[in-house]
Amino acid sequence: ETGVTQSPTHLIKTRGQQVTLRCSSQSGHNTVSWYQQALGQGPQFIFQYYREEENGRGNFPPRFSGLQFPNYSSELNVNALELDDSALYLCASSSQGASGANVLTFGAGSRLTVL
């Protein structure tokens, strides 16, 4: 089975720009979650998508948005980038539905640097 793949692996943006990060979920998984991992910290939950709809959101502003597609892949969009958005963005997929226990399979992440 294929794992979770993310692209791009690294990217550099400047303040005010917009970025789109992409994620392909593991085969058989229908739920995608996005996490932000700043340097020296644990991952923080951004949001989760199930059946192409947002299904739970963490403490992130509206300029963080996402999409899930019919093939369960997903995008994370961040508008009006700020320096503090520099982090590793992790995508995780799971086969659970809108509720219930989550056993997440993580991708390698996209490292975003905002200058």
Partner 1 sequence: AQSVSQHNHHVILSEAASLELGCNYSYGGTVNLFWYVQYPGQHLQLLLKYFSGDPLVKGIKGFEAEFIKSKFSFNLRKPSVQWSDTAEYFCAVNALLRGNKLVFGAGTILRVKS
Q: Which residues bind partner 1 (CB under 8 A)?
A: 4, 31, 33, 35, 40-45, 48, 55-56, 58, 90, 92, 96, 98-109
Residue 25 or 81 with smaller CB distance to partner 1: 25
When computed from its CA atoms, the radius of gyration of the chain, rounded to whole angstroms, is 13
Angle in degrees, CA 23, 11, 114, rounded to 5: 115
Let me know: does 88 contact 37? Beta carbons within 8 Å. yes
Cβ at position 3, least distance to partner 1 in Å? 8
Cβ at position 17, least distance to partner 1 in Å? 26
Give the position of tokens 């720009």: 17
Q: How far is CA 101 from CA 49, 97, 104, in A?
A: 15, 9, 9
Helix (H, G, I), strand (E, B) or coil at 33: strand
Residue 34 or 114 with smaller CB distance to partner 1: 34
Cβ at position 72, least distance to partner 1 in Å? 15
Residue 81 or 93 with smaller CB distance to partner 1: 93
Residue 39 or 70 with smaller CB distance to partner 1: 39
